[in-house]
Amino acid sequence: MAEVLTIGEPMGLFVAEEAKPLKDVQTFTRLVCGAEVNFSIGLSRLGHTVSYVSRVGSDPIGQHIRDFLQENGIEAGYVQVDREHLTGMQFKEKAPEGVDPLVVNYRRHTAFSYFTPEDLQGIDWQGVRHVHVTGIPAALSASCCAAVEKLMDEAHAHQAMVSFDPNLRPALWPSHKVMVRTLNRLAAKADLVLPGLGEGKILTGMEKPEQVADFYLDRGAKAVVIKLGGSKGAYGKERNGKEFIAPSFRVEHVVDTVGAGDGFAVGTVSALLEGRTLEEAALRGAAIGALAIMSAGDNEGLPNRTELQHFMEAV
């Protein structure tokens, strides 16, 4: 059994090969995307075992996703196949380096949006040490949200640590109020909360990272690490009152910012699994986040252990 579980919607990703408006593009490169996909790939490349909990359609894209996960060392035994609904898709524009591309999602009434808490039956918790959750699947349907909450509760019942990355996607939520209320409820179930500072401001109404951290610590989190953005690094605070700033790493040039937050989660969680301190974990998170934005694609820049070591030692 894998040591880490995550839940989310993997999607077929089609990246334009031509720098044109999407409506005019003739050729695309087929990939796989999803915040939890990026997280899983990153952990797998560092030698950790991950099981992905999800549902895809019985269509060719869903079949490709299952193959892709397995080829990348991710256990896909908990990826169910839905014969009535299609797999989600995303189309991404080819944008100049450093510019966030236009992204168009097709994820309404997809196979994963019909995932329910009952679909979690049969999970083998033996050996599971960590569960990582983002706020994205909770936005896709009421049943998905209930499944996420149940998975977090079951993780605690089996003494597994839970991390939560809000990963705000306002367009997926019925209202701002529902988004804030739901994500804060999920964060209260986590041991480790990993928001960006901008996300923290939106969710808590606080302005300073110290205030955002205290908001979640007061509601049950054991630790909070806040990505400050750009060259500012990350601020962390633990329930015992210990605070730190993890410095950022120099980025030669920004190619694609997609996946930076997922890379940060990879670094932080992997280091904690290896017995590192939270401050050391946040530093690794900053390193992998930096590597992620220096490569095109959602997860192509996520390093293996040798690449990570060389990057951190070269700074």
pTM (2 decimals)? 0.94
Contact 91, 103 (CB under 8 A): yes
Q: What is the mean pLDDT of residues 27-53?
A: 97
Cβ-in-10-Å burial (0-12, 13-18, 19+) of 73 comes to middle
Report how many domains make up the chain.
Answer: 1
For position 259, what pLDDT does the model report?
A: 73
Examine the pLDDT at 98 and tell me if it is beyond 70. Answer: no
109 has a pLDDT exceeding 70: yes
82 counts as catalytic: no
* Burial (CB count within 10 angstroms: exposed 0-12, middle 13-18, buried 19+), residue 32: buried
Cα 290 to Cα 302: distance, rounded to the nearest angstrom: 9
Two structure tokens written together for 303: 């390093």
Residue 75 scores a pLDDT above 90 = yes
Check whether 300 has a pLDDT greater than 90. Answer: no
Range of the domain at 9: 4-314
**What is residue 274's predicted lDDT score, i.e. its pLDDT?**
98
With cut-offs at 50, 70 and 90, classify the pLDDT of residue 292: confident
**Which range, 269-273, 298-302, 310-314, is most confident?**
269-273
The whole-number pLDDT of residue 237 equals: 98
| Measured CA distances, 102 to 8, 15, 61, 174 (Å) | 22, 10, 21, 22
122, pLDDT greater than 80: yes
pLDDT tens, position by position, 272-284: 999 999 999 999 9
Lowest mean pLDDT across 69-83, 128-142, 192-206, 289-303: 289-303
3 pLDDT higher than 70 = yes
The mean per-residue pLDDT over the stretch 242-261 comes to 83
pLDDT average, residue stretch 149-168: 98
Distances (CA, A) of 255 to 33, 92, 289: 17, 14, 12
pLDDT at 100: 78
Tell me how far apart the alpha carbons of residues 7 and 51 are, in angstroms, rounded to a whole number: 9
| Residue the block writes with tokens 């290896």 | 274
CATH number of residue 274's parent domain = 3.40.1190.20
Catalytic pick from 82, 119, 262, 298? 262
Structure tokens at 15: 């990246």
Q: What is the pLDDT of residue 49?
A: 98
What is the model's pLDDT at position 299? 83
Q: For the chain, what percent of residues have pLDDT higher than 90?
A: 85
Q: Which helix (H) or strand (E) holds 239?
A: none
Q: Please tell me the least confidently modeled range out of 166-175, 180-189, 247-256.
A: 247-256
* Whole-number pLDDT of residue 293: 78
Q: Does the pLDDT at position 239 exceed 80? A: yes
pLDDT of residue 99: 75
How many Cβ atoms sit within 10 Å of the Cβ of residue 48? 20
Q: What Å distances lie between residue 209 and 75, 248, 288, CA to CA? A: 36, 16, 21
**Alpha carbons within 13 A on the beta-carbon side of 224:** 28
Q: Which whole number is the average pLDDT over 244-252?
A: 87
Tally the residues of the chain. 315
